[in-house]
Amino acid sequence: MLLRMIYDPGLAQAAYLIGCQRTKEAIVFDPERDIDRYMKAAESNGVKIIAVAETHIHADFLSGARELAEKVGARVYVSDEGDSDWKYQWLDKRSTGGSYDHRLLKNGDVFRVGNIEFKAVHTPGHTPEHMMFVVTDLGAGATEPIGAITGDFVFVGDLGRPDLLETAAGVEGAKEPSARRLFSSLPLFLNLPDFVQVWPAHGAGSACGKALGAVPQTTVGYERRFSPALRAATSEKSFVDFILEGQPEPPTYFARMKRENKMGPRILGSLPKPIPLTAEEALRLDPRSSVIIDTRQWDMFQAGHIPGSLFAPKDSMFSAVVGSYVGENEGVYLVVETSCTEDAVRELVRIGLDNIVGMIDRFTIDKWAQMTGKGAKIAEVDALKGADMLDRREAVMLDVRRHDEFVEGHASGAIHVAHTRLSAELDRLPRDTPLLVTCRSGGRSSRASAYLQRKGFKVTNLAGGMLAWERAGNVMKK
């Protein structure tokens, strides 16, 4: 048996290529949309992708399953559990016109790729149709599983959050029943032997859980003993309380991903190649009709950016930021280094932002800056000045941290909206009063400030965030 984890650090997402070395056939679990990476991994390991499977309908990225079905004719294995809201409509011929070779799986269904056996185990909770795949290497004569593709059911040191149906998709009252369903899925994991490897769909940093560990994979026995979520499962109630507490606010684009993954993501073909703009062309850009995503560092951004630009440096927050601040059909221009362009494009198409029109490299933006004077800049103050503004009622504070951070201590009178939820809460924010935007250390608030400025709010970024705020002697309220 051959196994390769293909990891996307941007979304902390793991796909798995599993192949049979005898028959040279392979399957991919939970691919993202830019499937060339899986095909390359297959080729360099001497196997051919003949199948693709999904653990569940993803919320944080567009699936590459349809892309693989279309491009290499991979047979599609997906869940047929869950109610009618949770069906893969793109596999229904009437829906997409096309006809894909596929098999809809019920709990307990078994299929093989080469001499490797996969057993689908229905494990609702994160989503109602979620499947775990238990893998047995029959070719090597094994009589017990080698591992389990656990999707968003079990992570390293965590479980997949069961609240998204409510917190991301807005179905009120859904999170407790989902948490109970997750509890009732636990025996299906705990039934597995200690030595079974756990291959989860996400690593540290994913918004699909609250405390994922930074070791790439784990084992059933280790989780059984040391997973805080499993240790909290001393009763249904204590488990539900634990699992729903402290989950981060999901980015606003999650709801859209669910919908598109059900309907079938658009066939991508090859990666979009944004056209490099000249400085003159950059001058003519209208930020109202298109979105300029500036991926440079804060000091560069503040040294002068195209007015109306979003601030989104290429780090682990990139997907969540652009996913939360950019609409699905908006035309996108990237301010980015040439060598990083492909990587940024991949991150955009993974969350369905395909309309990437052009890019502006470092030299061009510098030239643009020279041509225009200095460009735009976001107002920024230190904690002393910020406190003064609040005292004088010249601003209200907008705290964009997570709810669990906020309740640990915040400034009196602060409005709280997590930065990933801003686009859904703009109506709650005052347009007449200036906003003093803050977070923990200034990272999220700077991204939020640029976004709000673009949306017409009056903003001032609080440099250093609440860490600086507290250091400056301001009182924190719990």
Determine the Cα–Cα distance for residues 438 and 429; give it in Å rounded to an integer: 14
Q: Are 412 and 397 in contact (CB under 8 A)?
A: no
Q: Which is nearer to a second copy, 125 or 304 (CB)?
A: 125
CA nearest neighbour of 109 among 99, 117, 98: 117
Q: Which is nearer to a second copy, 279 or 467 (CB)?
A: 467
Q: Which is nearer to a second copy, 107 or 115 (CB)?
A: 107
Residue 82 CB, shortest distance to a second copy, in Å, is 12
Residue 224 CB, shortest distance to a second copy, in Å, is 6
Residue 241 CB, shortest distance to a second copy, in Å, is 13
Q: Which is nearer to a second copy, 277 or 317 (CB)?
A: 317
The string of DSSP letters for 55-103 reads SS--SSS-BSHHHHHHHH-PEEEEE--S-GGG--GGGSHHHHS----EE
Determine the Cα–Cα distance for residues 312 and 403; give it in Å rounded to an integer: 22
Determine the Cα–Cα distance for residues 261 and 37; give it in Å rounded to an integer: 20
Place of tokens 């490897």: 197
Binding site for a second copy (CB under 8 A): 1-5, 9, 21, 44-45, 107-108, 121-122, 140-144, 146-147, 157, 183-184, 186-188, 190-191, 193-197, 213-222, 224-226, 230-231, 233-236, 238
302 φ/ψ angles, rounded to the nearest 5 degrees: -75, -20
Q: Which is nearer to a second copy, 147 or 442 (CB)?
A: 147
Q: Which is nearer to a second copy, 213 or 465 (CB)?
A: 213
Quick one: angle between helices 236-244 and 175-190, nearest 10? Answer: 110
Determine the Cα–Cα distance for residues 476 and 478; give it in Å rounded to an integer: 7
- Give the start-end residues of each E strand in 257-410: 275-276, 290-294, 310-311, 331-335, 356-360, 380-381, 396-399
Assigned token pair, 408: 């640990």
Residue 177 CB, shortest distance to a second copy, in Å, is 13
Beta bridge partners of 119: 110, 134
Q: Which is nearer to a second copy, 190 or 476 (CB)?
A: 190
Determine the Cα–Cα distance for residues 203 and 275; give it in Å rounded to an integer: 33
Beta bridge partners of 477: 410
Residue 282 CB, shortest distance to a second copy, in Å, is 30
Residue 199 CB, shortest distance to a second copy, in Å, is 10
Q: Which residues are CB-neighbours of 159 under 8 A, at least 6 positions away? A: 125, 126, 153, 182, 209, 227, 229, 230, 243
Residue 211 CB, shortest distance to a second copy, in Å, is 10
CB contact burial 355-368 (16+ within 10 A = b; e otherwise): bbbbbbbeebbebb
Residue 277 CB, shortest distance to a second copy, in Å, is 28
290 three-class SS: strand
Residue 375 per-residue DSSP state: -
Q: Which is nearer to a second copy, 140 or 475 (CB)?
A: 140
Residue 467 CB, shortest distance to a second copy, in Å, is 17
261 alpha carbon, distance to own chain's centre: 14
Q: Which is nearer to a second copy, 171 or 215 (CB)?
A: 215
Residue 255 CB, shortest distance to a second copy, in Å, is 28
Residue 423 CB, shortest distance to a second copy, in Å, is 29
Beta bridge partners of 15: 6
Q: Which is nearer to a second copy, 4 or 37 (CB)?
A: 4
Q: Are 132 and 155 in contact (CB under 8 A)?
A: no
Q: Which is nearer to a second copy, 45 or 474 (CB)?
A: 45
